[in-house]
Amino acid sequence: MTFPLDGLRVLDLSRVVSGPFAGRMLRDLGADVVKVEPPEGDVTRVWGEVRHGLSGFYTQQNAGKRNVSIDLKAPGGAQLVRRLAARADVVIENFRPGVADRLGIGYAELSAVNPRLVMLSVSGFGSTSPDAHRQVYAPAIHAESGLIARQAAFDGIHSDPMLSIADTNAALHGLVAVLAALHLRDRTGTGQHIDMAMLDAMIATDDYAHHAMDGFPIRRLGGEVWDAPGGPLLVAGEFRNTWKQLHTVHGVADPTPPGADLDTKIACRRKAAADWFASFPDRRSLTAALEAADLAWADVRSPFEAVNAPSVVARGVVAEVDDRAGGRRRVVNSPYRFSDADSGVRGPAPYRGEHNHEVLTEWLGIDEDEVRVLLESGVLVAEARPTP
């Protein structure tokens, strides 16, 4: 089988999640993704467990990429990036708006040497927003987009979800835009600059946003967790649908006294439902009854249980890569499954500057002497690998 994006060259100038995740997915689809990393390294290199100099977080977002470490502040650093961009199909960056331009590697500079270039710029509020200058991480967008306030309205506490939703939304919408721009380039011969705001992507992906725009009260449509034999169990959908199915299919009696108000009716029905869940001798008989009532249920798994669940194992959601010391390390795979093409993690995460010579030789035809000069001048950096 072949990978769908074989032959595509991607220069990944991004850090943390929103850009690196898009680059990781492009790599899993077959692109040659080269991460350009500053001498101090991506901040995520110390997030999670560090094994043989590579953290779990950094590995997750950068597995399979090659790495060139360039000091953009050194004379000649921006020029080297421009030379690489001239040979790339795609550039990804997530500096604050205006920073890439000041460094001499903005879209105007890069497209001047490569008119076919597609550049994805991810930022918190986009380049045209009055908040464009603000430093942003995912939690700030979760707050600004209404997510945290909405959760508090139902859960009673303002709390940021333990998931970088705004980052991954922007990355995946950015990935769609990149592929669309490449398709358009095939027709026109001209590249594109994609201005992807995390805030835009967050609201565009919010299936509750229509409530705010219509001024219509929100009803929680997600799942509800019940105490059950064998541990907590989630039933998807609104309670009124759960109750209707339990009452209609399984004859659960409505204990609401005549003339009761709505709040009392809901409380009585919820108590009857809770008693019904608790009445089963084991989990298997309960889940069979839920399926007979056409109710979608789920085990409430810990993250450690989730990555080892039968469906996760069967689908190959978790893969293994070289841990850089002769062993193996587990990493989450990309979810793309094709009928007649391949996809998936392509290798381990790289050290800083690990592929300086390899990439510069392949992409630019640079010889050993020029690489040595770039290293001696401080434009290129290569970290010492830890001893296994």
- On whether the CB atoms of residues 320 and 333 are closer than 8 A, the answer is no
Average pLDDT over residues 205-226: 93
| pTM attached to this predicted model | 0.94
Take residue 158 and report the two structure tokens written for it.
């303002």
pLDDT 10s digits, 320-371: 999 999 999 999 999 999 999 999 999 999 999 999 999 999 999 999 999 9
pLDDT tier at 133, thresholds 50, 70, 90: very high
- Residue 193 burial class via C-beta count within 10 angstroms: exposed 0-12, middle 13-18, buried 19 and up: middle
The pLDDT value recorded for residue 387 is: 77
pLDDT value at 262 more than 90: yes
Would you kindly state where each structural domain of the chain is located, as residue ranges?
Answer: 9-208+316-381, 224-301
Average pLDDT over residues 120-137: 97
Average pLDDT over residues 375-380: 97
The pLDDT value recorded for residue 221 is: 83
pLDDT 10s digits, 92-123: 999 999 999 999 999 999 999 999 999 999 99
The pLDDT value recorded for residue 212 is: 95
Distance (Å, rounded) from C-alpha 219 to C-alpha 379? 56
Q: Give the total residue count for the chain.
A: 388
pLDDT value at 388 more than 90: no
pLDDT value at 191 more than 80: yes
- On whether the CB atoms of residues 197 and 124 are closer than 8 A, the answer is yes
Q: Share the mean pLDDT of the chain.
A: 96
- On whether the CB atoms of residues 166 and 193 are closer than 8 A, the answer is no
Q: Under CATH, to which class is 224-301 assigned?
A: alpha beta
The CATH number of 9-208+316-381 is which of 2.160.20.10, 3.40.50.10540, 3.30.930.10, 3.40.30.10? 3.40.50.10540
pLDDT tier at 274, thresholds 50, 70, 90: very high
50-53 contact pairs (CB < 8 A, 24+): 51/323, 51/324, 51/325, 51/329, 52/323, 52/324, 52/325, 52/386, 52/388, 53/324, 53/351, 53/383, 53/385, 53/386
Distance (Å, rounded) from C-alpha 10 to C-alpha 156? 44
The pLDDT value recorded for residue 1 is: 76
pLDDT 10s digits, 49-91: 999 999 999 999 999 999 999 999 999 999 999 999 999 999 9
Average pLDDT over residues 271-282: 98
Q: Which residue has the higher pLDDT, 1 or 88?
A: 88
* Distance (Å) of CA 219 to CA 147, 210, 260: 14, 12, 22
pLDDT value at 29 more than 90: yes
Question: Which among 73, 87, 72 has a CA at the least distance from the CA of 13?
Answer: 72
